[in-house]
């Protein structure tokens, strides 16, 4: 079937199988491989992207369902070569170890801060319930989210 998605501001039309998952569309059709497939069971959050500005797990959305909608991946966050405040905060707070969960963590935090620009630490931790870090590096990830909020993330 023909699908038509806006990915990181760019219009992408493609003929895909009806059963294609959004994450495979992003990686294999749009050639944006930062979004990882982790558990593939809606648990780990590694595949988190924004759909119309809100975090979703792209392993549990069909490309067909996303047709006509706006998708943002971590590749779409930087502007003019400048890292997004959440990316910068991950860098400064050392919010990653192996890096596999990082794209999903960053996108989940961008969505969280859009809904709640100044969360408490507890709100950050519950807002990240859908993202697993198997290096168990949560402390610095939470610090990065709070630092990004302090840096007044633009909506």
Partner 1 sequence: MIPSSFTYKRAGSATEALDLIAEYGEDAKFLAGGHSLLPLMKLRLAAPEVIIDLGGLRDLSYVTDEGSYVAIGALTRHHDVENSELLGREVPLLAHAAGQVGDPQIRHRGTIGGSIAHADPASDLPAVLLALDATVVARGADGEREIAIGEFFQGLFETALEPDELLTEIRVPKPASGDGGSWSFQKFTQRAIDWAIVGCAVQDGHVALVNMGGTPLRATATEAALAGGASPADAAAHAAEGTSAADDIRATRAYREHLARVLVSRALTEASSRS
Q: Which residue has the tokens 């759909």?
A: 51
What mask of x and - would describe binding to partner 1 in positions 79 to 108, judged by CB under 8 A? -----------------------------x
Distance, CA of 95 to CA of 87 (rounded, Å): 9
Q: In what order do the strands lie in the sheet with 10-15?
A: 10-15, 2-7, 70-72, 48-51, 54-57
70 in contact with partner 1 (CB under 8 A): no
Give the count of residues interacting with partner 1 (CB under 8 A): 31
Distance, CA of 144 to CA of 23 (rounded, Å): 25
Nearest distance from C-beta of residue 90 to partner 1, angstroms: 18
What mask of x and - would describe binding to partner 1 in positions 105 to 124, judged by CB under 8 A? ---x--xx------------
The residue within the footprint of partner 1, chosen from 7, 21, 86, 106 (CB under 8 A), is: 21
The residue within the footprint of partner 1, chosen from 9, 15, 41, 79 (CB under 8 A), is: 41
Which listed range, 26-34, 51-59, 70-78, 85-93, lies at the site for partner 1 (CB under 8 A)?
51-59
130 in contact with partner 1 (CB under 8 A): yes
Question: Sign of torsion, CA 84 63 104 145?
Answer: positive
18 in contact with partner 1 (CB under 8 A): yes
Dihedral angle of Cα 149, 75, 111, 7, to the nearest 10 degrees: 150
The residue within the footprint of partner 1, chosen from 13, 33, 42, 120 (CB under 8 A), is: 42
Closest alpha carbon to 66 in 108, 34, 127, 24: 24
């Amino acid at each position: 079937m023909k699908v038509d998605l806006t990915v990181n501001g760019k219009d992408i039309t493609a003929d895909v199988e009806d059963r294609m998952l959004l994450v495979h569309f992003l990686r294999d059709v749009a050639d944006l491989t930062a979004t990882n497939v982790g558990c593939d069971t809606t648990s780990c959050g590694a595949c988190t992207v924004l759909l119309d500005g809100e975090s979703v797990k792209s392993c549990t959305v069909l490309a067909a369902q996303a047709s006509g909608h706006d998708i943002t991946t971590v590749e779409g966050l930087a502007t003019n070569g400048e890292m997004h405040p959440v990316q910068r905060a991950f860098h400064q707070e050392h919010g990653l170890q192996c890096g596999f969960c990082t794209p999903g963590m960053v996108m989940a935090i961008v969505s969280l801060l859009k809904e709640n620009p100044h969360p408490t630490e507890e709100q950050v931790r519950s807002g990240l319930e859908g993202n697993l870090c198997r290096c168990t590096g949560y402390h610095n990830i939470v610090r990065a989210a709070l630092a990004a909020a302090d840096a007044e993330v633009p909506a």
